[in-house]
C-alpha cells in the first residue's frame, strides 16, 4: 500500500471499529441493500474502475475471466454488470481459483510468502450466492490450482476467446502462465487487468507482467487506471 494512504486508512479502520461497536449487528440483507452507505471509498473506486474497464470491452468478442476470486466479490460484480449492460449477450464469466488461498510461491514473489494461506475462499457460500442471483448459467467455476487447471481448459476449448481477463492471484507463476496461454486467445481491443501492478507486498504479478511486455509490448497499449488504488494498470491489445 502506498504511504500516502497509511495514516488515512489507519484512522478509517479505527473509526469503523468504533462505529460498529456503537451500532451493533445488523441483518445481512439490510447492510447489502444499503451498501453505498457502508462501502469504503477505496473499495468503491475499485469497483467503479472495474466497471469502467469492463464497459470498454462490451463490443469486444469473447468471454470474461477472473483468475483468483477469493470469496467472489469481484466475480459477482462482473457477472452482475454483464446482466445490466449486456442483458441479451452470451458472454460467460469464468472463475479460476483453488479456493485454498495463496499457496504457489516462486522466488519472484519475494516476501509475499508471509501471506501463505491468505484469501482462502468459501466455495459453498459463493455457489449459494450465485444461485440466489440466478447466475449459474453465466458463471463457470474452474476449481483447482491454475497451473494444473488452465492448460487442459485451453487445450480442450480451442474455440474459446476472451475480451476481459482479470489477473488477481497476486503471484508470479500463475500470472506468467495466464499471460502466456491467454495472449493468443485475447481478442483485439481486449484487456488484461492487473490487480497488483506495482504493489509492494506482491511483486510477482508485476514481474510476470513486465516479462510479458518484454516479448509482447509492441502488441499492447499500457493503460493507467486513474481513480483506483487497485487495479492501477491494464493492457489493451492492439494486434495479434
Ligand atoms: C487476492 S485473492 C482474489 C480477490 C478477489 N479477486 C476479489 O476481488 O475479491 C487471490 C485468490 O487467488 C487464488 N489463487 C492464488 N494463486 C492461485 C493458483 N496458483 N491457483 C488457483 N488459485 C490461486 C487464491 O485462492 C485467492 O482466492
Q: How confident is residue 136, by pLDDT bands cut at 50, 70 and 90?
A: very high
Q: How confident is residue 1, by pLDDT bands cut at 50, 70 and 90?
A: low
Q: Which of 46, 64, 97 to mutate to test the pocket of ligand 1 (most atoms within 8 A of CB)?
A: 97
What pLDDT, on a 0 to 100 scale, did the predictor assign at position 114? 97
Contact of 127 with 72, CB cutoff 8 Å: no
Length of the chain: 240
Q: Average pLDDT of 163-188?
A: 98
Q: What does the mean pLDDT of the chain come to?
A: 96
Instruction: List, as one string, the DSSP characters of 9-75.
Output: HHHHHHHHHHHHHHH----HHHHHHTHHHHS-HHHHHHHHHHHHHHHHTTTS-SEEEEE--TTSHHH
Helices assigned H by DSSP within the chain: 6-23, 28-33, 35-38, 41-56, 73-85, 123-132, 146-156, 172-182, 203-216
Nearest ligand 1 atom to the CA of 103 is: 16
Q: How confident is residue 192, by pLDDT bands cut at 50, 70 and 90?
A: very high
Cis before residue 71, ω within 30 degrees of 0?
no
C-alpha 207/C-alpha 198 separation (Å) is: 9
C-alpha 44/C-alpha 23 separation (Å) is: 22
Give the distance (Å) from ligand 1 centre to CA of residue 146: 10
Domain spans, the chain: 1-38, 41-237
Contact of 192 with 213, CB cutoff 8 Å: no
Bridge partners (DSSP) of residue 169 are: none
Give the distance (Å) from ligand 1 centre to CA of residue 22: 34
| SS3 of residue 169 by DSSP | coil
C-alpha 194/C-alpha 123 separation (Å) is: 23
5-14, 89-98, 114-123, 132-141: segment of lowest average pLDDT:
5-14
What pLDDT, on a 0 to 100 scale, did the predictor assign at position 173? 98
Q: Kindly report the CATH class assigned to 41-237.
A: alpha beta
Give residue 210's Cα distance to chain centre. 18
**pTM, rounded to two decimals:** 0.96
C-alpha 99/C-alpha 189 separation (Å) is: 30
What pLDDT, on a 0 to 100 scale, did the predictor assign at position 185? 98
What pLDDT, on a 0 to 100 scale, did the predictor assign at position 184? 97
Amino acid at each position: 500500500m502506498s504511504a500516502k494512504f497509511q495514516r488515512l486508512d489507519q484512522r478509517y479502520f479505527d473509526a469503523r471499529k468504533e462505529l460498529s461497536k456503537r451500532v451493533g449487528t445488523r441483518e445481512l440483507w439490510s447492510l447489502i441493500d444499503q451498501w453505498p452507505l457502508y462501502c469504503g471509498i477505496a473499495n468503491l473506486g475499485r469497483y467503479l474502475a472495474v466497471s469502467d474497464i469492463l464497459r470498454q470491452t462490451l463490443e469486444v468478442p469473447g468471454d470474461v475471466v477472473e483468475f483468483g476470486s477469493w470469496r467472489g466479490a469481484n466475480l459477482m460484480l462482473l457477472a452482475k454488470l454483464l446482466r445490466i449492460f449486456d442483458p441479451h449477450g452470451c458472454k460467460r464469466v469464468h472463475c479460476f481459483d483453488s479456493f485454498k488461498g495463496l499457496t504457489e510461491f516462486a522466488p519472484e514473489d519475494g516476501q509475499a510468502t508471509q501471506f501463505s494461506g491468505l484469501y482462502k475462499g468459501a466455495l459453498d457460500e459463493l455457489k449459494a450466492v450465485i444461485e440466489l442471483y440466478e447466475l449459474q448459467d453465466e458463471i463457470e467455476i474452474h476449481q483447482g490450482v491454475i497451473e494444473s487447471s488452465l492448460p487442459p481448459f485451453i487445450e480442450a476449448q480451442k474455440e474459446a476467446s476472451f475480451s476481459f481477463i482479470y489477473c488477481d492471484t497476486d503471484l508470479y507463476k500463475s500470472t506468467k502462465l495466464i499471460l502466456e496461454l491467454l495472449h493468443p486467445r485475447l481478442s483485439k481491443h481486449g484487456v488484461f487487468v492487473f490487480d497488483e501492478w506495482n504493489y509492494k507486498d506482491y511483486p510477482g504479478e508485476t514481474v510476470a507482467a513486465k516479462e510479458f511486455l518484454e516479448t509482447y509490448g509492441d502488441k499492447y497499449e499500457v493503460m493507467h487506471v486513474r481513480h483506483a488504488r487497485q487495479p492501477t494498470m491494464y493492457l489493451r491489445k492492439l494486434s495479434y
